[in-house]
Amino acid sequence: MAVKKTKTATKKTASKAATTKTATKAKNIKVSEETVIDRFLRYVKFDTQSDERSGASPSTPSQHELAKALVSELETIGASDVYYDKEHCYVYATIPSTLGRKKAPVLGFISHMDTSDACSGKDVKARIVEKYDGKDVVLNESDPETGAKIVLSPKTFPELLNHKGEDLIVTDGTTLLGADDKAGISEIMTMAAYLLSHPEIKHGKIRIGFTPDEEIGEGTKFFDLKRFGADFAYTVDGGKLGELEYECFNAAEVELIIHGRSVHPGDAKGKMLNASLIAYEFQSMLPQFDNPMYTEKKEGFFHLTLMKGTCEKAVAYYIIRDHDKKKFTERKKLVEKIVKFLNDKYGAGTVELTMEDSYYNMIEKLKPHMHLIDNARKAMEQAEVTSIENPIRGGTDGAMLSFKGLPCPNLCTGGYNYHGKYEYASVQEMYKTVEILENLAQIYGSYKG
């Protein structure tokens, strides 16, 4: 693990957000006194799964509940310009500059409120495993479906051994945890509470943004760049402590609709056209090992996400990913070539293809702004954390925002095993991430450009 081990907090900034006089009336909690962990355990209780099938924005109404809670909390801790887009479920706020007339770039921090629909996010029961000993963690004595124990084990997840002696936040094995990205929200909110209650700390204007529907690729669909008004930003949506991500996949989505011809199998020769078999034929013509199961680092792939059908009609959905723009284009051309072959073989219109680009590699837009990377490294060094710089095998809101004109690399949160019931987060790494964010705020307070 490329992280220097230190005590839970080397500065009082990371241990607690400082006190203000105002308390949250609804729950009578002094929000500004909460730690990043207090916030996180509170936020994960909100069921905010997004749903790509809904067609609405936000895709699920439950995301509004967390948004409203965050708006109330931002107002309580003294943030200014707090704005809630009630139609599309975006939250914006400002931490005012403490520099007086001195100029500094406007820096933004962004996280998303939704969680993946790959695993239930309802009734999350989080608990803290103190001073993890490197052994199996029994999440649940009896799986509701199988009756077997649900175990988080280093045999399956070897990276757990890097956390010996740390405190881990886990689930009861029936839901995901929601660290993606409620850990990021908690860290941004804790940073905000601390800075707002310590005006002696020098920093420029800081903008905060919380988005819906990132997990379904629509987190920036209605993001108001003009209202946000930042010169640069960071998404806080990564994983392992030290992760600093500024390269990602180029991405496209593919929909295939295959039209067959159903005939009684007893009289089918020369007449039947089996749509499901044609779907399988398409899959067989893709490179076998260009598949997520066999790829890593900057290797691209074709990923079949859904296939269903009958003899009469079948559908198949794929995602295409590659860090290299040329290879990405070649992958899309291969899909088109296979579709043409099948239509020539079985008749025009047999296979309908819809293919759309989703996002592109953010490095293209970040190269002119590498100070964002240099300053993130500096902020991590100040927190005694070593940066880990690997390309993202996925995408973030930051990729789309970068192409919309807001350069936006991605930072760590301290969460692991996202999108499943074995998800966990490190308490110590979450404290450290808060420290990194506070360091960045101060670095850009004196940044000359």
Residue 322 near residue 269, CB atoms below 8 Å: no
What percent of the chain shows pLDDT beyond 70?
Answer: 93
Model pLDDT for residues 157-166, shown as the tens digit of each residue: 999 999 999 9
Instruction: Name the active-site residue from 73, 167, 181, 214.
Output: 214
**pLDDT at residue 31, rounded to an integer:** 64
**pLDDT at residue 53, rounded to an integer:** 87
User: Of 171, 168, 191, which Cα lies nearest the Cα of 414?
Assistant: 168
Model pLDDT for residues 98-121, shown as the tens digit of each residue: 999 899 999 999 999 999 999 999
pLDDT over 80 (residue 9): no
Instruction: Name the active-site residue from 34, 47, 114, 435.
Output: 114
**pLDDT at residue 48, rounded to an integer:** 97
**pLDDT at residue 80, rounded to an integer:** 98
Does the annotation list 322 as a binding residue?
no
Domain locations in the chain as residue ranges: 12-247+362-445, 252-358
Does the annotation list 112 as a binding residue?
yes
Does 222 or 31 have the greater pLDDT score?
A: 222
Alpha helices in 237-393 (DSSP H): 275-284, 325-346, 363-366, 371-382
pLDDT over 90 (residue 65): yes
pLDDT band (50, 70, 90) for residue 143: confident
HSE-CB for 413 with a 13 A CA cutoff: 34
pTM as predicted: 0.85
Residue 169 near residue 37, CB atoms below 8 Å: yes
Query: Chain-wide mean pLDDT for the chain?
Result: 92
> Does residue 75 carry a catalytic annotation?
no
> Does residue 114 carry a catalytic annotation?
yes
Model pLDDT for residues 192-231, shown as the tens digit of each residue: 999 999 999 999 999 999 999 999 989 999 999 999 999 9
d(CA 401, CA 398): 5
Overall average pLDDT of the 261-286 stretch: 96
Does the annotation list 180 as a binding residue?
yes
pLDDT band (50, 70, 90) for residue 436: very high
HSE-CB for 333 with a 13 A CA cutoff: 6
Of 3.40.630.10, 3.30.379.10, 2.30.30.40, 3.40.50.620, which CATH number belongs to 12-247+362-445?
Answer: 3.40.630.10
| CATH level 3 topology of 252-358 | Alpha-Beta Plaits (3.30.70)
Does the annotation list 237 as a binding residue?
yes
